[in-house]
Amino acid sequence: MSSIIQLLPDHVANQIAAGEVVQRPASVVKELLENAVDAKATDIKLIVKDAGKALVQVIDNGLGMSVTDARLCFERHATSKIRQAEDLFSLHTKGFRGEALASIAAIAHVEMKTKQDQEELGNHIIIEGSKFVSQEPAVLPKGTSFSVKNLFYNIPARRNFLKSETVELRHVIDEFQRVALAHPNISFTMYHNGSEMFNLPNSNFRQRIVNVFSGKTNEKLVPVQEETDILSIQGFVGKPEFAKKNRGEQFFFVNDRYIKSGYLHHAVMNAYDGLLPNGAQPSYFIYLQVPPNTIDINIHPTKTEIKFDDENALYAILRSSIKHSLGQFNVVPALDFDRDPNLDTPYEYQNKTADYPTVQVDRSYNPFAEEKQDKSFSGSSSTYKKAESTQSWESLYVGLKQDTSEVETFSFENEEITASLFDEKEEEQTKNRTYQIHKKYIISPIKSGMVIMDQSRAHQRVLYEQFLTNMTVHQASSQQLLFSLQLFFSNNEMKLIAELQQSLENTGFVFETFYSDSVLISGIPINTTESEVSMVLEQLISDLEDGIPDSSFSQNDTIAKSMAKSLAVKTGIYLTEKEQENLVNNLFACKEPNVSPFQKPTFITMRVEDIDKKFAL
């Protein structure tokens, strides 16, 4: 009987391994940037074309590789970072699996140029689908240059699963930002399709954060610092008033490695307890330093998840450190009954001496002199004087009673009784046609029973169809602002808003000027307040996290849904009878009043027979 189990060829095994290591162009960017950091480079350039589908190139001025190392680095499980299994628990570098370059070379055209500082010539290697095409010496500068072209060229099925260029570029930028934020002492530059996107000189942590996200990021940051025996915390958290709907500016770094941790995120959110509105997410950039033997980073192929030995201690220290920083910088309100902050000495007066006031005394003043003089007058004269002194005071009120009575008489004489437009019976029938229950549901009686409507979902449907109609017909009305509104966003958010400019203008927005880190708005949609504009745009950016739809209809549909969700009346808001009636009438004037834009029911009906059955039990 022939054997069933067979050894896979190397190129097939590499392609299978590539499925874990290389998921999209951003995965290649991550691996190559981390290798450049491990090579002790001080200047790293990232060049990307077509969001990494056509080219991903990383150029560094690191140590470089010898001829043997240059050939051996493309073999599976070949690494310079570890020698034995115990080294996995004492890692100080990024890549250690030895699968990245072998996996990338199995599914792309790879060209590597590398040279060590002490060597005269470097090495130029070309690999296509795990096959070495050529290796020859070349005159090169110090460092290494990796070029990965035509990703997934030999696996078309994987290439078809890639998203649009906008989505893939966003993932590439995310990986670039994570590595750049973790190493502010290294200068990074990124180019996409020939244009420079980032130019980050070497700096400190705070300056690197500001350079990456631009805008008014510096005003939002509150420093966090704590030194303990089990970990060291350094970084920044955002002020509560700058919290956003999306979670784009949230970063954890453990030993200069970006990680994702829902447990630590919960610790941060717990520190903000009571300071954030519902659904808001704070910004944070937390750098943790822990002993390498207390963590295990070899639990996930992408190495973005870490297992800690003592998670409870880390949770408590992180939460208390952030709370302390927020309180220290007067971000959170302090409740202290024994201390009056108004009595605190200002900084500019701490070293100054007190100025004593000069007191002038009139020694000739006699407080009893006037009293004796008054007693010397007769009773009639004193009475006259009192009357004379009060005469001018009472003159202020002369004619007041007369004027008041005239006004009252005038109001009664001119009061008109107008006839009612409806009969009393009709008024009784039309009065209280809708009722609001628990500031959430609206009840309206109908012939067969009653309609119970969810006010938030109903308003979402009304606004959704209004925005969709405006964007389709291009006849949206906008209200002009007396003073232009300037909103600040990060680089990625500004590019997203610029791409959506035409669609947003069709809803009623008027964009006056686009800057590199802000936008000037001079007009907003009807029924939108100025304070809601920032919330609407942040919600839209959060909803488009996975990218902008390619078709214009899908793009308009996404924008209309997002704006309807942001501007719709929320649960817990009191509505007047007029507002309730308008909402009911507008809902049933919609094309699809039965469901919200998110396919949830907007109302239910209860017949009288159904109510009778409840009482018949």
Tens of pLDDT, residue by residue over 125-176, are: 999 888 888 989 999 999 999 999 998 888 888 888 888 888 888 889 999 9
pLDDT band at 414 (very low <50, low <70, confident <90, very high): very low
- Read off the DSSP letter of residue 607: E
Q: Kindly report, residue by residue over 61-91, the tens digit of the pLDDT.
A: 998 888 888 888 887 766 655 555 555 555 5
Percent pLDDT > 90 in the chain is 25
What pLDDT shows up at residue 157? 80
In 272-406, the DSSP E strands lie at 284-289, 295-296, 307-308
Contact (Cβ atoms closer than 8 angstroms) between residue 47 and residue 59? yes
SS3 content of the chain, % helix, strand, coil (to 5): 40, 20, 35
What pLDDT shows up at residue 344? 63
Contact (Cβ atoms closer than 8 angstroms) between residue 191 and residue 46? yes
Contact (Cβ atoms closer than 8 angstroms) between residue 294 and residue 230? yes
Q: Which one of 179-193, 254-268, 543-557 scores highest in mean pLDDT?
A: 179-193
In 379-440, the DSSP E strands lie at 435-437
CA dist., res. 285 & res. 225, Å (int): 12
Q: Is the pLDDT of residue 187 over 90?
A: yes
Contact (Cβ atoms closer than 8 angstroms) between residue 231 and residue 317? yes
pTM (predicted TM-score): 0.70
Across 212-228, average pLDDT: 86
CATH 3.30.230.10 domain extents, the chain: 208-328
What pLDDT shows up at residue 383? 46
Q: Is the pLDDT of residue 615 over 50?
A: yes
The reply to whether CATH 3.30.230.10 applies to domain 208-328 is: yes
The CATH number of the structural domain formed by 10-200 is: 3.30.565.10
Q: Fold for domain 441-604?
A: Ribosomal Protein S8; Chain: A, domain 1 (3.30.1370)
Residues facing residue 232 across a β-bridge: 227, 289
Q: Is 65 helix (H, G, I), strand (E, B) or coil?
A: coil
Burial class (CB in 10 A: 0-12, 13-18, 19+), 7: exposed
Contact (Cβ atoms closer than 8 angstroms) between residue 576 and residue 451? no
CA dist., res. 76 & res. 78, Å (int): 5
CA dist., res. 187 & res. 209, Å (int): 13
Q: Is the pLDDT of residue 408 over 60?
A: no
Across 353-379, average pLDDT: 69
Q: Is 238 helix (H, G, I), strand (E, B) or coil?
A: strand
For residues 100 and 134, which has the higher predicted lDDT (pLDDT)? 134
CATH 3.30.565.10 domain extents, the chain: 10-200
Burial class (CB in 10 A: 0-12, 13-18, 19+), 446: exposed
Pairing of strands 284-289, 295-296: unpaired
In 340-476, the DSSP E strands lie at 435-437, 441-446, 449-454
CA dist., res. 21 & res. 27, Å (int): 7
Across 277-285, average pLDDT: 85
What pLDDT shows up at residue 549? 66
Own/partner contacts of 402-409, CB < 8 Å, gap of 24 or more, are none
